[in-house]
Amino acid sequence: MTLPTGTAADPDDLAAGADEHILGRGLRNIGDMIRLKPKPFAVGAAGAMINTGMTLLLSYIVGWVVAGIAVPAYENGEVALGTVLLGAAALLGTSIIRFSSMCARRIGAGVMQFGVQAEWRRRITRRYLALPVSWHQKHPTGTLLSNANADVEAATRPLAPLPFACGTLFMVVVAMIAFFAIDWAIALVALGMFPALFALNAVFATKMAPRAKRAQELRAEVSAVGHESFDGALVVKAMGREAAETERFSASAGELRDAMIGVGRLRAAFEPAIAGLPEIAVLVALLVGLARFEAGAINLEQLVTVSFMFSVLAFPVRAIGWVLGDLPGSVVGRARVDHVLAATGDMAYGDKQLPATTAPATLEFDAVAYAYPDGHEALREVTFTVAPGTTVALVGATGSGKSTLAHLAARLIDPGRGTVRLDGTDLRDLDHASLARSTALVQQIPFIFDDTVRANIALDRPGLSGAGDESDDRLWDALVAAGAEKFVLNLDDGLDTEVGERGTSLSGGQRQRLTLARALAGSPRLLVLDDATSAVDPKVESQILSGLKDSSEAASVLVVAYRRATIALADEVVFLEGGRITARGPHTELLRTHPPYADLVTAYERAEAEREFDGEFDRELAAADTDHEEGAA
């Protein structure tokens, strides 16, 4: 089912003078949501109509009970028991139907509202996941959370009172017919109330639209600021920035508070008028009814019926006001939701499949250039090949384009010019699942889900997530290859250990090894390691990489490397300077022939030696401290 895009719009439309369409756009939004969940709407609306029908019937029953039972009893001093019982049964019966239909109305409204919310959240999530990295780089996570929560909720808010309002509309139509059948003067009072009510709501909606838009924007802003602060809580604490962050959050929250107070003020100005109008109409109708009764135009039963009908109408008519009152916010929320759903990326996938083999793949970069959206050209004329089963090390100074190249190899981004091919097929022509099965990218900053070790490695992939020994064997093989089996064995529950949000219960090196195991478990044909083992001990890193090279299922490997021992393991080194390949060849040859390469690798080596020396020094210091403390004890 495709989402109706009747109200799809840039949220900025609202600020650009489109406020006059707010009622129309709001009603179209409601129409879209009804089409999305027609059954619960039908249940809710049917419940509401039965409820209002019963309420109207009650007006007639009350009129009949007063005129046919109460007045004769008062005048004659007696009344037939059968008539009393009939009156009681009629009142009880209509009340039972009213209450059950009220349940149906509420259940229908709830199922519809939360059903639409769930559907839109699913679509937003699917869209987020389909959009390219470049889109995500421009949209803060907090804003995306706000799209999926506050905006979806605002867009669907009118659904809660919608069935009630539909029932009320039905009630109004029937009541108008009844009023005209009873007396034209009373009918005119009712007729006058509705245009006034709608006019008042139209003015309210127009005034509310820009305020509601601002409030939704600020909600997203507060969410973005909050998300960033909480995400970077450790940095904030370590740098002593708590006060500054609190100030930043307070400023955003204060703006949202002011905007919401503005919304509240407008509601406060209009809602009493919207709610009071039907009450005034009841009063006028009673006065007109009394005058008409005294003039002999209507009898007592008709007067009681009409008065009761007006009084029971006064409250439900407010439901129409609730729906109309929620329309401006819903239009804003819907526009923001549609803005995400309509976002297009340049990452369409093709339908070509790679051969179903586990043999290592060939990766080719052919005259590839890439510029970031801000115009910065990160790569130029990059041409090289990773032959099947070989390891190519990407070496270059900071900012030379290594990560950009790794992202191109895994098709997180597409080249501006040139082509990246896997087994001779342009990555853009490949089916998404086929590409994901063949290539695995492991990044420097590992992402660990708040789940077990097993779930983090298996990721629900077929052959890995089953309960059997075979799945476990594959997981353990991957853990061994990633040098992670010892620490996982030492965890309290082994594979079933919960590792906490982002793997907080693990060290940086352990997290890196788990993400490497995750990549290896899928038996990729091309492995792209973007400084993926930087937090792992250098000796262990060398063991892991030489193990990968020697494994019987060796994949082709493209590795962003900094350590001399790692670089030396590669069959070929690709040296990047300022986004261009300035040298290629075996490590030993480049050391001899390309001085900038030799300088960089020597600098890496020196830095590594210093780190190791510092580490050893720290260890010795700690040991000396312990000796000292033990001696003192």
Ligand X SMILES: Nc1ncnc2c1ncn2[C@@H]1O[C@H](COP(=O)(O)OP(=O)(O)OP(=O)(O)O)[C@@H](O)[C@H]1O
Sites of contact with ligand X (CB under 6 A): 137, 372, 374, 376, 378, 396, 398-404
* Listed residue (551, 547, 548, 591) closest to 568, CA to CA: 591
End-to-end CA distance of the chain: 75
Identify which of residues 219 and 402 has a Cβ nearer to ligand X in the complex.
402
Identify which of residues 372 and 449 has a Cβ nearer to ligand X in the complex.
372
CB of 129 to ligand X, least distance (A): 19
Sorted by sequence, the CB contacts under 8 Å of residue 188 that are 6+ apart come out as: none
CB of 400 to ligand X, least distance (A): 4
The two tokens of residue 419 are 């082509």
Identify which of residues 194 and 604 has a Cβ nearer to ligand X in the complex.
604
CB of 401 to ligand X, least distance (A): 4
Identify which of residues 281 and 601 has a Cβ nearer to ligand X in the complex.
601
The two tokens of residue 559 are 């590795």
CB of 378 to ligand X, least distance (A): 4
494 burial via Cβ count (<10 Å: 0-12, 13-18, 19+): middle
CB of 217 to ligand X, least distance (A): 24
Amino acid in the structure at residue 264: G
Identify which of residues 451 and 608 has a Cβ nearer to ligand X in the complex.
608
Task: Judge contact between 499 and 569, C-beta under 8 A.
Answer: no
* Listed residue (271, 290, 144, 322) closest to 219, CA to CA: 144
Identify which of residues 401 and 522 has a Cβ nearer to ligand X in the complex.
401
DSSP per-residue string spanning 240-255? T-HHHHHHHHHHHHHH
Angstrom distance (rounded) from CA 550 to CA 547: 5
Half-sphere exposure of 352 (CA within 13 A, CB side): 11
CB of 154 to ligand X, least distance (A): 31
CB of 516 to ligand X, least distance (A): 18
Identify which of residues 111 and 369 has a Cβ nearer to ligand X in the complex.
369
Half-sphere exposure of 30 (CA within 13 A, CB side): 22
CB of 351 to ligand X, least distance (A): 29
Identify which of residues 237 and 376 has a Cβ nearer to ligand X in the complex.
376
Angstrom distance (rounded) from CA 309 to CA 59: 6
User: CA-based angle 546:548:551, to the nearest 5?
Assistant: 105
CB of 156 to ligand X, least distance (A): 34
> How far is it between the farthest Cα atoms of the chain?
124
Identify which of residues 46 and 371 has a Cβ nearer to ligand X in the complex.
371
CB of 368 to ligand X, least distance (A): 13
Phi, psi of 11 (to 5 degrees): -55, -25
Q: At what angle do helices 22-36 and 317-341 cross, to 10 degrees?
A: 80
CB of 404 to ligand X, least distance (A): 3
CB of 158 to ligand X, least distance (A): 40
DSSP character for 451? S
Identify which of residues 210 and 538 has a Cβ nearer to ligand X in the complex.
538
Task: Judge contact between 580 and 587, C-beta under 8 A.
Answer: no
CB of 582 to ligand X, least distance (A): 13
Identify which of residues 458 and 560 has a Cβ nearer to ligand X in the complex.
560
CB of 542 to ligand X, least distance (A): 20
DSSP per-residue string spanning 74-87? HHHS---HHHHHHH
Distances (CA, A) of 443 to 400, 494, 562: 17, 24, 14
Identify which of residues 405 and 521 has a Cβ nearer to ligand X in the complex.
405
Amino acid in the structure at residue 477: D
Identify which of residues 326 and 531 has a Cβ nearer to ligand X in the complex.
531
Task: Judge contact between 378 and 393, C-beta under 8 A.
Answer: no
Angstrom distance (rounded) from CA 584 to CA 268: 72
Phi, psi of 413 (to 5 degrees): -135, 160
Identify which of residues 134 and 546 has a Cβ nearer to ligand X in the complex.
134
Distances (CA, A) of 121 to 88, 104, 116, 130, 341: 49, 25, 8, 14, 10
The two tokens of residue 173 are 């139509």
Q: What is the 3-state secondary structure (H, E, C) of 183-208?
A: CHHHHHHHHHHHHHHHHHHHHHHHHH
